[in-house]
Amino acid sequence: MPRPKKCRKVCQMPQIREFFPAGSSSCDFAVILTVDEYEAIRLIDRQGFSQEECSSYMQVARTTVQMIYNSARQKLAEALVDGRPLKIEGGDYQLCDGKEDFCGCGGCRRHRSRCEQRLFKEVEGMKIAVPLDENQQDVCVVLARAPYFLFRENGIDVIEENPAAQAQGGAGIQAAQFLVDNQVTDLITVRCGQNAADVFHEAGMKIYKSANKAAAEDLAALEEGRLEELTQFHGGFHGVQ
């Protein structure tokens, strides 16, 4: 007996389900994009989710998401290159029932108001730090030696010089203590030394992995719940962390 397919969770049906190239006839053979394929495109290409995040929201395996996503991209290419109509219908899916406390994907109408309220409360109580390069816009690759730190609290950004940037040794610990003293709750960084990470964890600080060059983009991604926590930390090298 074949194993039944697991339905993929979809937050909401697409508002527009048919697309026709200019000058084409509605009788032309259409490319059919299934609803679950549409959802994968929406989450990954529109919302910026990773395939792992998408699999979590759709409640299927990552390999299943990869299969759905690849099929959807192929169909979109076929419709675009061949100039064929595109229709969204069918597929193995189930609509979100609205019972989760927080869906996080920005699509479910039942959740949208509740999710926005929760995100606002979480962001309101956060003080986020990002190490900055000399231009005061891009994320600095080396946390301890960053010339500046950007602090965001309650929607207000403040940039301060990093007192550990020119330290002869132990810059990682000094920078970490500077952030702790400033009561930072969340840190965005490209990488982090183990010693500094120990200080952050002891203070209850969350560490997120930078995914963008610009600090503003990383901040937006964090506030939208799209950054992953940093879990791998390097040892110190040449006295620098």
Indicate which CATH number applies to the domain containing 163.
3.30.420.130
The answer to whether residue 119 is domain-embedded is no
- Domain C-terminal end among 91, 114, 137: 114
pLDDT value at position 6? 58
Calculate the average pLDDT of the chain.
83
The dihedral sign for the CA sequence 169, 173, 176, 178 = negative
What is the arithmetic mean of pLDDT over 80-101? 82
For 16-55, b/e burial (b = at least 16 CB within 10 A) is eeeebeeeeeeeeebbebbbbbbbbbbbbeebebebebbb
pLDDT value at position 100? 58
The answer to whether residue 240 is domain-embedded is no
pLDDT value at position 238? 44
Number of domains in the chain: 2
pLDDT value at position 121? 46
Q: Which domain holds residue 24?
A: 8-114
CA distances from 174 to 94, 164, 181, 240 (A): 51, 6, 10, 11
| 133 and 202 both lie in a single domain | yes
| 134 and 110 both lie in a single domain | no
- Domain C-terminal end among 114, 149, 184: 114
The answer to whether residue 148 is domain-embedded is yes
| 82 and 167 both lie in a single domain | no
The answer to whether residue 187 is domain-embedded is yes
Confidence class for position 178, pLDDT limits 50, 70, 90: very high
Question: Which amino acid, residue 195?
Answer: N
Neighbouring residues of 82: CB distance < 8 A, sequence distance ≥ 6: none
| 14 and 93 both lie in a single domain | yes
The answer to whether residue 132 is domain-embedded is yes
Question: What's the start-to-end Cα distance of the chain, in Å?
Answer: 57
Q: Is the pLDDT of residue 1 over 50?
A: no
pLDDT value at position 123? 55
| 46 and 139 both lie in a single domain | no
pTM score of the predicted model? 0.50
| 12 and 110 both lie in a single domain | yes
The answer to whether residue 239 is domain-embedded is no
| 33 and 82 both lie in a single domain | yes
- Domain C-terminal end among 94, 114, 134: 114
The answer to whether residue 234 is domain-embedded is no
- Burial of 222 per CB tally in 10 Å (0-12, 13-18, 19+): buried
| 208 and 132 both lie in a single domain | yes
CA distances from 192 to 10, 129, 179 (A): 37, 13, 13
pLDDT digits (tens, 9 = 90+) for 96-123: 766 555 455 555 554 454 454 444 445 5
pLDDT digits (tens, 9 = 90+) for 30-78: 999 999 999 999 989 988 888 888 888 888 898 999 999 999 999 999 9
pLDDT value at position 124? 58
| 109 and 178 both lie in a single domain | no
| 136 and 171 both lie in a single domain | yes
| 109 and 129 both lie in a single domain | no
Q: What percent of the chain has pLDDT over 90?
A: 44
pLDDT value at position 69? 95
